[in-house]
Structure 1
């Protein structure tokens, strides 16, 4: 038997679903698809895992299709690298945050308590599930239009030479293209307890006769940050 509170909760949930639908730029014929896409497995058996599976394939296909037609001179390897970057979890999570998906996720008590609405993997999975929900609700053309909206800015500003390449790789390729010595990385210090260490590294670029320092939670991340700083310096000098 329904409690007096249930209708109010249902009305509020529908209001939020309509609000998100407007943000996404797609009007669902059946809001149940969107609700399922936002429902994490911790909230029950009727969750978004199957939609996520379908959405993963759809976004891979549609991004590949755009790259194939938009960049007609790109080699297969470059298209694969760029697509991998555009559809990876980190990118999907950023897209989800742009639409404030954390405010709409439906999580079980345990995930709510542990801050699951902030977890990037959950946000990324929800983006894939939403893409599939649009496909199920409106068909292939509606789904394609949704993916293009989600990726519009990224596709417009896409630089094939940089996309998907980490800063260390880009710095190395830049120096090699000018027959310059490769950067030298060294650890300056390691601080903190074993479970929360901070690495500070130096990246020496002989071409600039400059050392670039950066700190992060791992040596690899610190080296990437130092390489990024070096690249920014190279760009600022218009080298």
Structure 2
């Protein structure tokens, strides 16, 4: 357990049952008990606590808006970012295959591990302990909650931008796919025939690459609009 003192300090919780933390940081690829059940529990606690926090902090939002706000806070990327902030990857126990492929840096493993740690703290200290950990981990994010416009994904914002100007909807084309089958990178182009601009984006799957391309086109449109304003 001594090797995990830094993690204990980061989460600010000393375990009465240290085996819970051992299990929380053990991926299913490793031998012995793993963190899948704790992940299941931690996911439920995390979603409830974040739902409660956004409900209290955003009294003007209706159900759908609150759901989108919660989803923005607890998605895989957001959880992985928080996990990196406490250096969780350095404490994850992985099988040899995951170690060789850099599993300790993978978003999915970090996100699942963080949820498992939350579940472990809950089992060790009860609901208030679990709630306290979630609030500590998400303190910065909860302190700067985005507005509804920022919660919309780039493809939705681009569609609304074009519709407001009575322009046709964009097309998305895969321009290049690279990498091995299990670790591909997609490059996508986003075009609107009446515009002289093209957005480009790359990601590990087509959906995310399309979102990146839409975001790139939106940024170029914003820059063009600003330039016209200053003329």
Change (3 A) 1:233 1:105: same
Q: Report how many residues are paired.
A: 223
Aligned pair partner of 1:213 in 168, 181, 199: 199
Contact preservation (8 Å) 1:185, 1:223: no
Counterpart for residue 5 of structure 1: none
> CA offsets per residue over residues 62-120 of structure 1, 9 Å max, x none?
11111111111211111122222322223222221222211100123333233322232
**Structure 1 stretches of 5 or more lacking a match?**
1-13
Specify the structure having the higher radius of gyration (Cα): 1
Counterpart for residue 136 of structure 1: 123
Change (3 A) 1:130 1:190: closer
- Give the Cα–Cα distance (whole angstroms) in 1 for the partners of residues 116 and 31 of structure 2: 16
Counterpart for residue 68 of structure 2: 81
- Superposed structure 1 runs of 4+ greater than 3 Å apart: 186-200, 217-223, 233-239
> CA offsets per residue over residues 170-205 of structure 1, 9 Å max, x none?
2223444x4542442354844668955754414338
Aligned pair partner of 1:33 in 8, 20, 23: 20
* Structure 2 residue 33 is the aligned partner of structure 1 residue 53: no
Change (3 A) 1:125 1:163: farther
1:235 CA displacement? 4.8
- Give the Cα–Cα distance (whole angstroms) in 2 for the partners of residues 192 and 120 of structure 1: 20
Change (3 A) 1:77 1:141: same
1:99-138 superposed matches below 5 A: 99-138=86-125
Change (3 A) 1:69 1:235: farther
Q: Secondary structure at the match of 2:192?
A: strand
Q: Secondary structure at the match of 1:216?
A: strand
TM-score using structure 1 length: 0.79
* Structure 2 residue 179 is the aligned partner of structure 1 residue 201: no
**Structure 2 stretches of 5 or more lacking a match?**
none
- Give the Cα–Cα distance (whole angstroms) in 2 for the partners of residues 193 and 118 of structure 1: 18
Alignment root-mean-square deviation, CA: 2.8
- Give the Cα–Cα distance (whole angstroms) in 2 for the partners of residues 70 and 203 of structure 1: 39
Contact preservation (8 Å) 2:197, 2:220: no
